[in-house]
Amino acid sequence: MFTTSNLRSVMQLAWQFVKRNGLTMSEALKTAWRNVKLQMEMKKGIVKFYFQKVDGSIREAYGTLNENFLPESKGSERKQNDTVQAYFDTEVQEYRCFKKANLAA
């Protein structure tokens, strides 16, 4: 179920893609929806997804944001970056991130 805050997140993310990455509004909305849906699924459990790495190759990842799978935090708080999505990689048991604009279909 999508709430008003989810729709707001989609539009903000889409405008960010248009401004920073030069995507058309259509491409930006598709990518923004994929990001929001992925984030919602990762909060439920482990999800398989793909993204383009900086070198151009496609990476297959298994990640989660579900509290049941996350390790105990060490207390270091990082500054939030709106252009990347952090996730817990269940294959290597470490935190990873990818650029939201590079999420593959």
User: What integer pLDDT is reported at residue 2 of this predicted model?
Assistant: 67
Helices (H) and strands (E) in the chain, counts: 2, 4
User: What integer pLDDT is reported at residue 48 of this predicted model?
Assistant: 97
Angle at 3 between CA 83 and CA 96, to 5 degrees: 30
- pTM higher than 0.85: yes
DSSP run (H or E) holding 58: strand 58-64
Residue 1: pLDDT band (50, 70, 90) is low
Residue labelled with tokens 């989810």: 6
More confident call, 66 vs 5:
66
At 63-75, the pLDDT tens digits run: 999 999 988 877 6
Radius of gyration of the chain (CA): 14
30: amino acid identity, one letter = K
Q: 34 is written with which tokens?
A: 């994929």
At 59-102, the pLDDT tens digits run: 999 999 999 998 887 767 777 888 999 999 999 999 999 999 99
Cα–Cα distance between 78 and 43 in angstroms, integer? 20
